[in-house]
Amino acid sequence: MKRALPTIVHLDADAFFVSVEQSLDPSLRGKKVAVGGRVRGIVASASYEARACGVYTPMPVSQALRVCPDLVLVSHANGMSRYSEFSAKMFALCETVTPYVECRSIDEGFMDIGPRGFKDEATAVAAVRELQGRILRELGLPVSFGMAATKVVSAIASKQNKPRGFTVVPAGAEADFLAPLPIGVLPGIGKKTEVLLKANGIARVGDLPAQNGSLLASLLGRDWRGWVATALGEDDAEVGTVHEDAKSYSQQETFPRDIGDFAEVLRVAKGMIDALLPKVRADGKTARTLTIKVRYPGMEDDSAGRSLLEPSDLEAPFYVLAEPLLRTAWRRVRSPLRLVMVKLSGIAEPAVQMELFAEKSDADARKRKLAAVVDSLNAQTNGTALQHGFHAQTHH
Ligand SMILES: [Mg+2]
């Protein structure tokens, strides 16, 4: 259904890791600051002052120090838990505006404020402006916002006036907003395609729908009509509809009787994490996003998902997410549950993990060895050694 107001909000924190460090140590504000590893490191985040000096991400730290000798380098080595904590607080503030929050990464996500029933654009904008101010005041984090009637357009809008941007695309004005922007802003247009399109006279988004179908088919393939729709700002994806990966791992449990006890449901959810990670490891993959879905006796569902900064094939990082996610997902706190589902998505090969985390890998290698021992023990005993007490379905 077409929205009458720009009630899909995309937020994207500005220079997130650096902003967290600056929030914790105000003496770093206004300086050329980068977060990265000193050993075999790359720049994971750079302040806007450092960017003006030629530092970008990802750039080897050694090169960054060459182009910008007075760069203040902050090690990310101990920062991961701090970054996750700030991220959780930022999304918690979003959840005071609407329960429909979809985290796409540690510092980026969508919100659907449509269900708030704002009477006009101005009141919707005021609510999001207030959230932007609150995140800056309470967490010290500058965040850019885009508001539009569709997800793709709101995500492009949030990138327009960084840092501390705030761009509103009125409902119905999507195509006009996109038309003058460079073609590369469309999600999914890679560098190679961009060069190809430009060589064929398609430099701006508005040039794409104006071209004839056979040219577009030769440049973009069979799905060229989808690209035309995207370029016109037509997209009906909903917030919270997690993008389906080629593969995900999930498990669900329908309780023999409805359960209202938080600790009991959490124990079941953690048991599912225990059951799923060995499968992820056995396939040689890593997972990034944990989603928990709950179902009430009336068959209505609620869910919540969050992504790790660093994809993992270990149980521990997902355990940490389980409790806050279950709390967020279980919105009708007074209702018992009929079903709980745990899903791991964002599945990838460990080989594509970011070099940034190379320094941590020794400790992880030890944990992985231990996990492999437990997996093989479980395999020998048909899984009874560490099995949890529920029968659950597995879907791949
Ligand atoms: Mg960001």
What is the whole-number distance in angstroms between the Cα of residue 271 and the centre of ligand 1?
33
| Closest C-alpha to 329, from 56, 4, 112, 102 | 102
Query: What confidence score (pLDDT) does residue 138 get?
Result: 96
Distance from Cα 81 to the centre of ligand 1, integer Å: 17
Residue 390: DSSP 8-state = S
pLDDT band at 191 (very low <50, low <70, confident <90, very high): confident
**Dihedral sign, Cα of residue 162, residue 204, residue 234, residue 125:** positive
In whole angstroms, what separates CA 130 from the centre of its chain?
Answer: 22
Cα 8 to ligand 1 centre (Å) = 18
Quote the CA–CA distance of 168 and 183 in Å, as a whole number.
20
Mean pLDDT across 354-379 = 54
What confidence score (pLDDT) does residue 301 get?
87
Section 203-209 average pLDDT: 97
Angle (nearest 5°) at CA 269 between 263 and 275? 140
Distance 142 CA to ligand 1 centre (A): 10
DSSP β-ladder status, 249-259 and 8-13: unpaired
- pLDDT for residue 358 is more than 90: no
Q: How far away, in angstroms, is 209 Cα from ligand 1 center?
A: 30
Listed residue (161, 95, 160, 106) closest to 131, CA to CA:
95
Residues above pLDDT 90, as percent of the chain? 58
3-state secondary structure of 223: coil
Tell me, in angstroms, the distance from the centre of ligand 1 to residue 203's CA: 25
For residue 16, how far is its CA from the centre of ligand 1 (angstroms)?
6
Cβ-defined contacts of 48-51 (< 8 Å, 24+): 48/14, 48/15, 48/163, 50/18
Q: What domains sit in the chain, N to C, each tagged with a CATH number?
A: 16-80 (3.40.1170.60), 177-231 (1.10.150.20), 249-395 (3.30.1490.100)
Percent residues over pLDDT 70 in the chain: 84
Query: Is a pLDDT exceeding 80 seen at residue 234?
Result: yes
107: CA distance to ligand 1 center in Å?
5
Question: What local confidence, expressed as pLDDT, does residue 349 receive?
Answer: 66
Which of the four pLDDT bands, split at 50, 70 and 90, describes residue 380? Answer: very low
Highest mean predicted confidence (pLDDT) among 177-181, 185-189, 238-242: 177-181
Which of these is catalytic: 21, 49, 108, 253? 108
pLDDT at 77 over 70: no
- φ, ψ of residue 308 to 5 degrees: the values are -75, 150
Question: pLDDT confidence of 373, banded at 50, 70, 90?
Answer: low
pLDDT tens figures, 17-32: 999 999 999 999 999 9
pLDDT at residue 393 is higher than 60: no
Among 117, 98, 120, 118, smallest CA distance to 109 is for 98
pLDDT in tens, 305-316: 988 888 899 999
Token pair for 29: 């504000």
pLDDT value for 307: 86
pLDDT at 108 over 80: yes
pLDDT at 275 over 60: yes
For ligand 1, the distance from its centroid to the CA atom of residue 270, given in whole angstroms, is 30
Write the Ramachandran bin of 188: left for phi over 0, alpha for psi from -120 to 50, otherwise beta. left
Assess whether pLDDT exceeds 70 at residue 144. Answer: yes
The per-residue pLDDT for range 248-264, each reduced to its tens digit, is 888 888 888 899 999 99
Place of tokens 């980026």: 108
pLDDT at 355: 36
The mean pLDDT value for 72-99 works out to 83
Active site residue 108: yes
Give me the pLDDT at residue 214, please: 94
Determine the distance separating the centroid of ligand 1 and the alpha carbon of 144, expressed in angstroms. Answer: 8
**Where residue 362 falls among pLDDT bands split at 50, 70, 90?**
low
